[in-house]
């Protein structure tokens, strides 16, 4: 992946963080705790791909013939799920985003997609941890920034944003496009 694709991937993964942070801002999360939540979101978004990569790299020699199909399938599945979620009505569930346990659970929940992306890294030529440094830093940093931005947007503009902007839709389309590009590149040796 080139730097542009890494940034697009990071933006796609950060959409869940953005959404949750907007909700936290709308619901009145304590302002100084936004930094802690953004830190956890960035940290987990960066660690999960490493965990997924580590798990798949142990079995990469068995999967080389189908790795592009795995990468495409996972990205299409995650992207499709994000598209589906973007079409569902908003959940009226209230949560206390000020609690440390809530923030940790949200960080884990929003980074599950990143675990699958780590598996795709193992299937697309990232065969050393050193090659993962740039993508992991970019993913973590973008998630951190999007979390802070989401909190500020939610705090400032509240419900107006959530009615007009569907971040899951954008993120889902980006993930599907990256998956299609990986598949086409491997199938046609581009």
Q: Residues near 79 by Cβ (< 8 Å), separated by ≥ 6?
A: 12, 171, 172, 173, 174, 175, 176, 179
Dist CA 46 CA 115 (whole Å): 9
User: What does each of the 190 residues of the chain score in pLDDT, given as a tens digit?
Assistant: 889 999 999 999 999 889 888 878 877 788 889 999 999 999 999 999 999 899 887 776 676 677 778 778 877 887 787 788 777 775 544 456 788 988 888 888 888 888 888 988 887 888 888 999 999 999 999 999 999 999 998 888 866 655 666 666 766 787 788 788 888 888 887 6
Residue 144 contacts residue 47 (beta carbons within 8 Å) = no
Dist CA 66 CA 166 (whole Å): 33
């Amino acid at each position: 992946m080139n730097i542009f694709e890494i940034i697009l991937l990071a933006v796609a993964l950060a959409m869940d963080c953005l959404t949750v942070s907007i909700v936290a801002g709308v619901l009145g999360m304590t302002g100084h705790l936004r930094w802690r939540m953004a830190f956890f979101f960035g940290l987990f978004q960066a660690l999960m791909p490493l965990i997924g990569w580590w798990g798949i790299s142990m079995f990469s020699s068995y999967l080389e013939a189908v790795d592009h199909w795995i990468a495409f399938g996972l990205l299409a599945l995650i992207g499709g799920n994000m598209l589906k979620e973007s079409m569902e009505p908003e959940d009226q569930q209230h949560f206390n985003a000020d609690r440390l346990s809530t923030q940790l659970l949200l960080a884990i929940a929003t980074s599950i997609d990143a675990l699958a992306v780590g598996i795709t890294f193992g299937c697309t030529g990232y065969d050393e941890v050193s090659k993962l440094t740039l993508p992991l830093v970019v993913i973590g940093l973008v998630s951190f920034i999007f979390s802070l931005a989401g909190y500020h947007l939610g705090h400032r503009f509240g419900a107006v944003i959530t009615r007009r902007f569907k971040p899951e839709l954008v993120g889902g389309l980006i993930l599907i496009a990256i998956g299609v590009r990986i598949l086409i590149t491997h199938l046609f040796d581009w």
